[in-house]
Amino acid sequence: MITPAVALLATLAVQAAPDSAGATLYRAWCASCHGADGRGQAARQTQLSVRPADLTECQTSTAETEERWLGIVREGGAAFGLSLDMPAFRYGATPEQLRAVVRYIRSLCGERGWPPGELNFPRAFLAEKAYPENEVVTSLHGSEQEYIYERRLGRRAQLEASARTVLDSLDRPFDGVTGALKYNVWYSTVRRALVTVGVEGTPPLGRQEAWEIEPFIAAGANPLAGLFVQAEVVGAWEDGEGVSGFSYSVGVGREVGRFTPMLEVGGTVPRAGEATVSLVPQVRVQLSRLGHVAGSLGVELPACAPEPRYPRLTAFLLWDYGDAGLFRGW
Ligand code: HEC
């Protein structure tokens, strides 16, 4: 007769199997370069042209998807524009072994509370990303330009600083600066969703005449394989005026190889005056082989507006500097 304790032990053994198999494979195949503990301190290190990343670093191992590391281990570093020293394991290993060893190295972080890279959805034009990032972005919206610096703080927070310019008929192109802080309040690997709250502050500089404070809530979800949804609601409070209104956006997208077509709907609801609604069809393109440099091109189409408004070009270029240097990974 199988007692509950034996059944439990059997279940635990089955659950532990991939990990212990992964650990054994790691020691046999990877430890010579990545070090017995995954920190990259290995006997062969002196012979390598690039020092392997510290696989135990949570920020490194959680920010990317399992598929991405699986790709590097299967195809080798060179397929992603990384060093040739990272070999391809597809000839000598089964897909199950590759997954086991990648799950093992992803478990080396050993800390809870780091949102997984599976929830790091591609940046949309209107909705703020819910995932905290290390990124530099420059964006274009009609005649307006924005230069954004984002820095991740620990597991769930991110600081952001941005400056804006406008190239129009006025001779003062400097539009203003904004600082922001956001915090991922909830994520679920099972529900494949995350929610982040934050606040933006814009001082009276450039063309901005009064302090503006904008609290926001941003969310992302991956309800169906390959398909993701991102949304944001932003409130606006202006010094002297009080609450001046809110804006919202919701978009869907799907990754197709290097391209991610997305459709966003965004609107503004001012406290006084008429609301506007726009559609923003856009395509995000992965530019570097590693995927840490990407661009996006789209158009904002006014769908409902009080005054005549015209289509405006939307575009951005981003570099995920937390992932790799600008000139690596091509
Ligand atoms: C011959 C040495 C060598 C062996 C063996 C090796 N690697 Fe690597 N690996 C490297 C080097 C060097 C890099 C860094 C490449 C770069 O950044 O250009 C690397 C990078 C990686 C990365 C990418 C890390 C990142 O930050 O993006 C992963 C994942 C990885 N290795 C996993 C493994 C696994 C799993 C194994 C065993 C199945 C393995 N490696 C075996 C040398 C090796």
- State yes or no: pLDDT of 306 exceeds 80: no
pLDDT digits (tens, 9 = 90+) for 75-133: 999 999 999 999 999 998 999 999 999 999 999 998 999 999 999 999 999 999 999 99
Q: Which residues pair with 297 in a beta bridge?
A: 283, 315
Express as a percent the part of the chain with pLDDT over 90. 78
Give the C-alpha separation, 59 to 112, whole Å.
Answer: 12
Q: Are 260 and 121 in contact (CB under 8 A)?
A: no
Give 86 Cα–ligand 1 centroid separation in angstroms.
5
Question: Which pLDDT score, from 0 to 100, does residue 50 have?
Answer: 85
Q: Where in the chain is the domain with CATH 2.40.160.40?
A: 117-319
For tokens 């799950």, the residue is 103
As a whole number, mean pLDDT of residues 15-42 equals 82
Question: Using 50, 70 and 90 to split pLDDT, how confident is the model at 43?
Answer: low
pLDDT digits (tens, 9 = 90+) for 190-230: 999 999 999 999 999 999 999 999 999 999 999 998 899 99
Please state, rounded to an integer, the average pLDDT across all residues of the chain.
91
Q: What angle do CA 270, 273, 276 make, to 5 degrees?
A: 65
Closest CA to 74 of 62, 58, 91: 91
The ligand 1 site (C-beta within 6 Å) comprises 29-30, 32-34, 48, 50, 52-53, 60, 69, 72-73, 77, 82-83, 85-87, 89, 101, 105
Question: Using 50, 70 and 90 to split pLDDT, how confident is the model at 41?
Answer: confident
Q: Are 234 and 252 in contact (CB under 8 A)?
A: no
Q: Which residues pair with 254 in a beta bridge?
A: 227
As a whole number, mean pLDDT of residues 45-68 equals 86
Predicted TM-score (pTM) above 0.85: yes
Q: Where in the chain is the domain with CATH 1.10.760.10?
A: 4-107
- State yes or no: pLDDT of 35 exceeds 60: yes
CATH homologous superfamily for the domain 117-319: monomeric porin ompg (2.40.160.40)
Mutate to test the pocket of ligand 1, among 50, 86, 120, 290 (most ligand atoms within 8 A of CB): 86
For tokens 């059997």, the residue is 10
As a whole number, mean pLDDT of residues 173-202 equals 97
Question: Which pLDDT score, from 0 to 100, does residue 133 have?
Answer: 94
Considering the domain 4-107, what is its CATH architecture? Orthogonal Bundle (1.10)
Coil/strand/helix, residue 12 = helix
Question: Which pLDDT score, from 0 to 100, does residue 11 have?
Answer: 42
Q: Are 179 and 161 in contact (CB under 8 A)?
A: yes
DSSP H stretches of helix in the chain: 4-29, 31-34, 58-63, 66-75, 95-107
Measured from the Cβ of residue 15, the count of other Cβ atoms closer than 10 Å reads 9
Question: Which pLDDT score, from 0 to 100, does residue 307 have?
Answer: 72
What's the full length of the chain, in residues?
330
Measured from the Cβ of residue 81, the count of other Cβ atoms closer than 10 Å reads 16
Give the C-alpha separation, 196 to 219, whole Å.
Answer: 6
How is 307-321 classified by DSSP, letter by letter?
S----EEEEEEEE-T
